[in-house]
Amino acid sequence: MSRLFCLLLLSLGLAASVNAQESEASRALAGAAAAVGASHSLAAASSSSVQAAALPSVQAILAAAAAPEAAASDPVALAPIPASDPAPGQVHRIRDMLTRRFGLARAKAEQISSAVMASASKYSLPPALVLAIISIESRFQDHARGKHGATGLMQVVPAAHKRLVKNLDLTEPAANIEAGSAILHGYLESARGDVGAALKSYGGSTAYARKVSLRAKDFETVGAASGVDTAAPFTAQ
């Protein structure tokens, strides 16, 4: 009886030992599986990180490739293009007219015609109008002097336009025509585009405005021959 009891206890001990070993083995297998899963997860995360790190460089390459096309289609991205100079043919025709009709030396006539075209373009004035004013005011004599200190081609009065003509040599054709054109442009703006009123302000009388308007028609022929825009009205009021 006692021997049978001992055998029973021994069997129970062996079974418990076996169960414990199986449980330990199961836990070890589960731990190994978890470790493998974690390793895969880490590898996947590492792969994603590598891809994410590489992505900006790909985007940068694509952006760099698209940059020239974007610059071509976006006017803001382009450098501003400066206004072109008057066509040489236009300047030469006016020069030849000044030489023939007013007896100017060729070099002086070209200097004046270039200045007229540049200022007329800058201030949106018909070149024929600027030429008419010069012909009446000074007959294209750049050192002409008049009443109240009026000086140069367009007979600019320094005392009346101190800020505008400060540090300018009004006997120099380009400076004088620039100043005179700026003054006329200001009168046109004040008169809301009324050429007659602007000319009256410039010369001081309605008679002056009419005289300039008539003289401008003589220069329109030169402008038309040279392709110069003379569409602005000259009717004095």
Grouping H, G, I as helix, E, B as strand and the rest as coil, residue 156 is strand
Confidence (pLDDT) at 225: 42
Give me the CATH topology for the region 88-226.
Answer: Lysozyme (1.10.530)
Lowest mean pLDDT among 80-84, 131-135, 212-216: 80-84
Q: pLDDT (tens digit, 9 = 90+) per residue, 41-54? A: 434 444 444 343 33
User: How confident is the model at residue 90, as a pLDDT?
Assistant: 84
Which carries the bigger pLDDT value, residue 227 or residue 144?
Answer: 144
Nearest-angstrom CA–CA distance, 144 and 138: 6
Please determine, for residue 150, whether its predicted confidence score (pLDDT) is greater than 50: yes
Q: Cβ–Cβ contacts within 10 Å for residue 171, how many? A: 15
Chain segment 177-228, per-residue pLDDT in tens = 999 999 999 999 999 999 999 999 999 999 999 999 999 998 987 754 433 3
pLDDT value for 2: 53
Pair of tokens at residue 181:
């054109």
Among 135, 130, 159, 131, CA closest to 147: 159
Question: From CA 45, how far away is CA 65, in angstroms rounded?
Answer: 30
- The model's pLDDT over 52-73, given as tens digits with 9 standing for 90+, comes to 333 344 344 333 333 333 333 3
